[in-house]
Structure 1
Amino acid sequence: MNETIRKATWLELFYDLIFVVAIAKAVDTLGHANQGQIEFESYFKYILIMIPLWWAWTGHTLFANRFDNDDLFQRLMTLGQMAVAASLSVFIDPDFDPNYLGFLLSYVALRGLLVLMYGRAAMLAEGACRDVAKFLGLGFTVGLLISLSSLLFTGPWKYVVLYLGIIVDIIFPLLGRRYLARAPVESHHVPERYALLIIILLGESVANLVSSFESVAVSLQTVVAAVAGFLLLAAIWWVYYDNLERRIYGQELGTGQAVIYLHLALFIGLGGIATMIGFAIDPVLAVADYKLLVGLSTAVFLIALQLLLQIYHPKAERAPLLRNAVITLVLSLAALALAPTNVTVLLAMTGVFLIHAISDIRRQRAI
């Protein structure tokens, strides 16, 4: 384990703020009901937007984890990435075609700056860290060039090639897992950074709650939905951060890939939860479609969280965790099957999450 505890810098926190706008626009992709429905295409586009956002943010976070020296070059490169990330957010839109070129060039520029940072790190670092910088710099260059080559294609194929490059980028570190383990991530910084990403999503959920409440007439139903939504977010916060603090923060993480990649699912699931709270306050989404949104969002979030907890908890504690997860699953299915309206679905799911949080508190006290 590294002797020095690595903490997020002020520049990293500033970096996060740039992504607040991008994440809000991505979540808004799900926030429009067409005749009481969210079209399948909207779910697909939402995921396609969230993946490069998560990966762009992850790229800088992992570089900073291993190679941060806070010198002039790194500050300028980080500020450059922030400017490009702001540009990227401009071109986030469910209508892909008019925004394709701006999105592509912004994404490629952002990754290109990261490659330059890895190139310099390879020149300055020594031993395993130098080898890791070379390895990642090479892999990310390949992914970047594949995405950039989408300019040579037209129609749907340009998107296929764009995302092929992103997939290569994402998979490359997984293929080099043993190689990257020679320079493990700092065990405090990575969990802290991803916890801050979750805070951004929780903040977006609160913002969505407030904006939805402002857009409707105040009634008992809207007040109940708003209160239930806030309690749901509180329960999510409690379960996630209690377990992060107790079992993940400061532990040996190796490459940290379980934390990194499972947070993509947490990221996507929480964005859906933000949307589902809004549609309970302003119930323009048909009940069947609302239940689909709730089921998908909570399932993605809970499964990813359970996998993360199973990986980092001792074997003796995994059975109670799994039992709580099964109870939560059964209660969630019952809530989705029996609740007749959007508000009652949200109320029921809030109750399920509160039960899960209380069970988790009792489990931890029994340890």
Structure 2
Amino acid sequence: MSEHHAEQAEERDTESAVRHRTRRMSGRDPHESGRASTPLELLFDLTFVVAFGTAANELAHALSADHIGSGIAAFAFATFGITWAWINFTWFASAYDTDDWIYRVTTMVQMVGVLIFALGIKPMFESVTKHGETLDNDVIVWGYVVMRVAMIFQWLRAGRHDPDRRQACRTYVVSIAIAQVLWCILALVDLPVGTTFALIIVPFLVEIGGPALAERARGGTPWHAHHIAERYGLMVIITLGEGMIGTMAAINALAQDGLDWEIGLFTFAGTALTFGIWWCYFSIPTGEILHARRERSFGFGYGAIGLFGAIVAIGAGLHVGAYYLDHHSKLGLTATVLTVVVPVALFIAVFYAGYSLLSRSFDAFHVVLLAVTVVVLVVPVLMARSEVDLSWCLLVLALAPWVTVVGYETVGYRHNVAVLESLTD
């Protein structure tokens, strides 16, 4: 290349760094050094703060009104839609983020879809928890379809610009399109709530089956392992925010008559529980494992639906505790404690199962940690049955994730070392 042409190329590179002109979606380098979340991705995540916050708030209302089964069903439905939309965008962005003006505008459309989705969560909950004849999921579906149609456009563009991976991109397009048609039919046809929830299985299977087919049988996409690990970690932090919100709600209820020791106890319990969950999650070397074993991405990626849901539900449970303390709950003390114990138990179960699937390993020490954790989960329930104050029950419950933290920092880290060493074999 001549010196003149080299200068022109350098000028084009400089321009592309400061001007968001149209670029080809030829695929990012999956081994790109220093790959990190972009400001646009972080802005995109803020809409999910709203969506998760709305779902947690509605779950707390439902549980405190003693609509337990229906509240959980509505929360599961909402959580799947929220999480799945985020997962799809995240993996696409990891593979094809061009950060040009078309990509940015399309992402903005998806953000609008998330907010529309969030607007539909309350009426959907009410139709389920108040035993309506039909599921009021219209607004949720329209918001979801806005998000997913925008993704169809993104995948079509990627398929046009990246011929080597066109089959994979088309598979995404077809599966998303079919699923959206099915979602729209379910929204337009007024069926009993139970029937609608049963039929939801069909578009659900189409949604999760598309990526599996595209990545495993159609060539896959160039997603970046460390970038994906960071993005999931950031979403864990966002969902943990619901725990802090629930803690603050309880503090506000307690502080009506001034500050006292009970407020301090509840504050410490809620914060310790949230912090312990954070420590647990970030003890796993996710990026390193995915980088070396890309085929393990599905268990990790799909498992996050249950993980995120459990963490958000913990925050909702703490919010139920606030309603109990403020005498605005139909639940008794034991049931109130269980609204936090159950999602904590679910988090622990998904966390350990996810680690075993991701690392393809088994550590007998984990059985010991799980056994001790089960004891810690049972004790607060027994305390509540003995009419011990809620704050003390939650303080003991807050020890549950710390069993894993202490076990990892003293002994369990050795297993992680062995897992990382095995990746180079």
TM-score, L = length of structure 2: 0.78
Deviations 1:284-326 (A, max 9, x none): 44123124323320121111110122133374x7333343223
Of 95, 112, 117 in structure 1, the residue corresponding to residue 126 of structure 2 is: 95
One-letter code aligned to 2:265:
V
Q: 1:36 to 1:52 in 2, by over 3 A?
A: closer
Q: CA deviation at 1:260?
A: 1.1
Q: Which residue of 2 aligns with 1:296?
A: 342
Of 82, 94, 114 in structure 2, the residue corresponding to residue 65 of structure 1 is: 94
Of 188, 191, 194 in structure 1, the residue corresponding to residue 232 of structure 2 is: 194
One-letter code aligned to 2:178:
V
Deviations 1:326-345 (A, max 9, x none): 32123323443344343232
| 2:151 counterpart of 1:114 | yes
Q: Which residue of 2 aligns with 1:333?
A: 378
One-letter code aligned to 1:4:
E
One-letter code aligned to 1:134:
R
Question: Which has the higher mean CA deviation after the structures are superposed, 6-15 or 213-222?
Answer: 213-222
CA contact (8 A) 2:250 2:323 kept: yes
Q: 1:116 to 1:314 in 2, by over 3 A?
A: closer
Separation of aligned partners in 1, 2:260 and 2:202 = 48
Separation of aligned partners in 2, 1:207 and 1:321 = 31
Separation of aligned partners in 2, 1:282 and 1:174 = 42
CA contact (8 A) 1:279 1:290 kept: yes
Task: Give the 3-state SS of the residue equivalent to 1:309 in structure 2.
Answer: helix
The correspondence of residues 45-56 of structure 1 with structure 2, limited to 5 A, is 45-56=74-85
Q: Which residue of 2 aligns with 1:237?
A: 278
Task: Give the 3-state SS of the residue equivalent to 1:243 in structure 2.
Answer: coil
Separation of aligned partners in 2, 1:246 and 1:323 = 26
Q: Which residue of 2 aligns with 1:146?
A: 182
Deviations 1:101-135 (A, max 9, x none): 222211112111111111111111132x2221111
| 2:62 counterpart of 1:30 | no
The correspondence of residues 1-367 of structure 1 with structure 2, limited to 5 A, is 2-5=30-33, 6-32=35-61, 37-93=66-122, 94-96=125-127, 100-127=137-164, 129-156=165-192, 157=195, 161=199, 164-175=202-213, 178-179=216-217, 182-183=220-221, 185-216=223-254, 217=256, 218-244=259-285, 248=289, 250-254=291-295, 256-283=297-324, 284=329, 285-313=331-359, 315=361, 318-339=363-384, 340=386, 341=388, 342-364=390-412, 366=414
CA contact (8 A) 1:20 1:200 kept: yes
Q: CA deviation at 1:36?
A: 6.6
Q: 1:3 to 1:100 in 2, by over 3 A?
A: closer
Separation of aligned partners in 2, 1:75 and 1:357 = 40
Question: Which has the higher mean CA deviation after the structures are superposed, 220-229 or 239-248?
Answer: 239-248
Separation of aligned partners in 2, 1:180 and 1:109 = 26
Task: Give the 3-state SS of the residue equivalent to 2:172 in structure 1.
Answer: helix
One-letter code aligned to 1:300:
L
Structure 2: gaps of 5 or more residues: 1-28, 128-133, 418-425
Q: 1:288 to 1:364 in 2, by over 3 A?
A: closer
CA contact (8 A) 1:37 1:286 kept: no
CA contact (8 A) 1:149 1:161 kept: no
Q: Which residue of 1 aligns with 2:26?
A: none
Q: 1:322 to 1:186 in 2, by over 3 A?
A: farther
CA contact (8 A) 1:52 1:166 kept: no
Deviations 1:210-239 (A, max 9, x none): 133113334322321121110111111111
Percent of aligned pairs with the same amino acid: 21
Task: Give the 3-state SS of the residue equivalent to 2:190 in structure 1.
Answer: coil
CA contact (8 A) 1:205 1:273 kept: yes
TM-score, L = length of structure 1: 0.89
How many residues matched? 365
Which structure has the larger Rg? 2
CA contact (8 A) 1:222 1:281 kept: no
Q: 1:75 to 1:308 in 2, by over 3 A?
A: same
Q: Which residue of 1 aligns with 2:3?
A: none
Separation of aligned partners in 2, 1:281 and 1:226 = 12
Q: 1:364 to 1:192 in 2, by over 3 A?
A: same
One-letter code aligned to 1:101:
D
Separation of aligned partners in 2, 1:314 and 1:112 = 36
Question: Which has the higher mean CA deviation after the structures are superposed, 11-20 or 245-254?
Answer: 245-254
Separation of aligned partners in 1, 2:65 and 2:39 = 43
Separation of aligned partners in 2, 1:109 and 1:273 = 29
Q: 1:258 to 1:245 in 2, by over 3 A?
A: closer
